Structure 1
Amino acid sequence: MTVVVKIGGARAVDPKGALADIASLAEGGERVVVVHGGSTAVDDTLEAMSEEPEYVETPAGVVGRFTDERTMEVFSMVLPGKLNTDLVVGLQNAGADAVGLSGVDGGLLTGPRKGAVRVVEDGRRKIRRGDHSGRIAEVNGELLETLLDGGYTPVVTVPMLAKDGEKWLAVNSDADRAAAAIAGALGADLVLLTDVPGVLADVDDPDSVIERVDSPAAYERLDEAAEGFMTRKVMAATEALEGGARSVVVASANADAPVSAALSGTGTTITPEALT
């Protein structure tokens, strides 16, 4: 079995427990790919440079980052640099042979550049140009399979490679959706670790976790319940299952042995039957 684990970058997420659990799973023979983001660290770095992070809302109501050229430079410095290195070191200390990769390495994550995005500002729809982000269309699964077969634990982050005319360009992409693309390509179980115990039916009640989504009716309930950042996770879960993932679990990164717990049913488990 292959498991793709996405470790969230929220300030409330402590990755130590997840890294120890991943190392234990790898030692037991499981094939694990780690994917991480780092929006909080990017925002902190921008603010330290006296620059403001910019977020925009799409016509569908999804809030995301607008990545201009300067922000892309910070992404390239923070994610495949410090954050990826820290996670690789953490896994090495926990006993796993880890290899750090960004989406540009070996053409791991590729697709078209967006260049312009549709946004809503002051109630009006507009087109913002100059965005340095892309949509992942292909995953070099062979590269990941080679590393996994060799006993390594790949640790993957953005940027991805996007075609800009005749040239390749490093651009931003959502880490949840990157994890979804990888899970689909590998036919893996996807675990999305975050700072809440799962998708909540009532965002003000942490005990209202929607535990299992295995029918269209249950999926409709899930989709209606998702708010804020959870909207992107449900979107990623849907893309993963449509792409060939075996299952998706949204669960807390701060639980004991969080990956093992998620695979055992803790959190919100979504199965392919939810989309039929």
Structure 2
Amino acid sequence: MTIVIKVGGARAVDPAGALADVSSLVEDGEDVVVVHGGSTAVDDTLERLGIEPTYVETPSGVVGRFTDEETMEVFEMVFGHLNTQLVAGLQSQGVDAVGLSGVDGKLLHGPRKSAVRVVEDGKKKIKRGDHSGTIREVNVDLLESLFDGGYTPVASPPMAGKDDDEILPVNTDADRSAAAIAAALDATLVLLTDVEGIYADPDDSETLIESVETGEEWEDLEDAAEGFMGRKVMAAEEALDGGSPEVVVADANADEPILSALDGDGTHLLQDALADREEAEQ
């Protein structure tokens, strides 16, 4: 079994337990890819540098950071630092980890989006100067070569964005990066975050949705997912639609967070549920 682990970038997430679990999985002969985020670290660094981040809302209601050229430079710096720290942490656990950005070997490749559609003051507008991209290809050969050599990839944005004839490092969502990798490898995807999973009532931890197995349950899940959880559900859908058999959203701070998630903790989203929903919509 191949497993893709997304370690969240929230301030409340401690990666230590996840790294220990990755070591256990690798010792058991599993192929593992670790993908990490770091948006809060980017925000912290922008604040220290006196740079005010710009957030925009898309017509579909998703709010995200606008990545201009200055922000992109900070993004590259911060994600490179975080990647090195995670690789060193895994090396300390006896895992022969290799750090990669999506640019390396064009691990994550697709077109750059230099302009994005946004909503400002209730009006739809085009905002130019963005450094973001849409993943269209994953270099599976690169990952499999690392697996064959006994290495564990630790990957993160930025991705390799094609801009005319030039390749540029551009921002892309870390959850969706993990989903693209999981789909390309037909791997189980574990999205670790700072809560136990997805709640039917986002304000009540007693309402954990343990599994989503039917199309009707998937629709209920989408209704329940708010804020950053909406992005995780979007990533889960992309992973399942692309070939992942299962996606688990679970607590990064639990004891043995990955092993417990694979053993039933968290919210388990199954490929059959997505297929059932899509069939009902036809």
TM-score class, shorter: over 0.9
Question: For residues 72-83 of structure 1, what are the structure 2 equivalents within 5 Å?
Answer: 72-79=72-79, 81-83=80-82
Counterparts of residues 9-88 of structure 1 (less than 5 Å): 9-79=9-79, 81-88=80-87
Residues in 1 aligned to 2:89 and 2:206: alpha-carbon distance in whole angstroms: 31
Shift of 1:11: 0.4
Give 1:114 deviation, angstroms.
1.1
What is the letter of the counterpart of residue 215 of structure 1?
A: T
Distance 1:55 1:199 in 2: 24
2:156 maps to which residue?
A: 157
Query: Counterparts of 1:41 and 1:126 in 2: how far apart (Å)?
Result: 29
Cα displacement (A) at 1:156: 0.0
Structure 1 residue 95 displacement after superposition: 1.5
Secondary structure, aligned partner of 1:86: helix
CA shift, 1:94, in A, is 1.2
Match of 2:278 in 1: none
Which one-letter code corresponds to 1:218 in the other structure?
Answer: E
Q: Distance in 1 between matches of 2:6 and 2:136?
A: 19
Residues of 2 paired with 1:56 and 1:242: CA distance?
27
Aligned residue type for 2:4? V
Q: Give the aligned residue type for 2:213.
A: D
Q: Residue type matched to 1:250 in 2?
A: V
Letter in 2 for 1:21: D
Cα-Cα RMSD? 0.7
Q: Deviations over 1:126-162 (max 9, x none)?
A: 1111110000000001100111122211000111011
The 2-side partners of 1:268 and 1:184 are apart by: 18
In 2, Cα distance between the equivalents of 1:200 and 1:56? 26
Identity of aligned residues (%): 68
TM-score by length of 1: 0.98
Give the C-alpha shift of residue 55 in structure 1: 1.4
State how far apart, in whole Å, the 2-side matches of 1:131 and 1:228 are. 22
TM-score, length-scaled by structure 2: 0.96
Q: Secondary structure at the match of 2:222?
A: helix
Amino acid at match of 1:71: T
Shift of 1:228: 0.3
Shift of 1:169: 0.9
Residues 143-199 of structure 1, C-alpha deviations (whole Å, 9 max, x = no match): 001111222110001110111111111100000000000000000000000001001
Q: Distance in 1 between matches of 2:55 and 2:6?
A: 22
Alignment-derived partner of residue 90 in structure 1 = 89
1:256 and 2:250 aligned: no
2:136 counterpart letter in structure 1: A
2:96, 2:34 → 1: CA distance?
Answer: 12
* Other structure's SS at 2:207 match: coil
Unaligned ranges ≥5, structure 2: 276-282
Quote the offset at 1:30 in angstroms. Answer: 1.1
Structure 1 Cα separation of the partners of residues 50 and 96 of structure 2: 38
- Aligned partners of 1:100, 1:175: CA distance in 2, in Å? 15
The equivalent residue for 1:113 is 112
For residue 142 of structure 1, what is the aligned residue in structure 2? Answer: 141
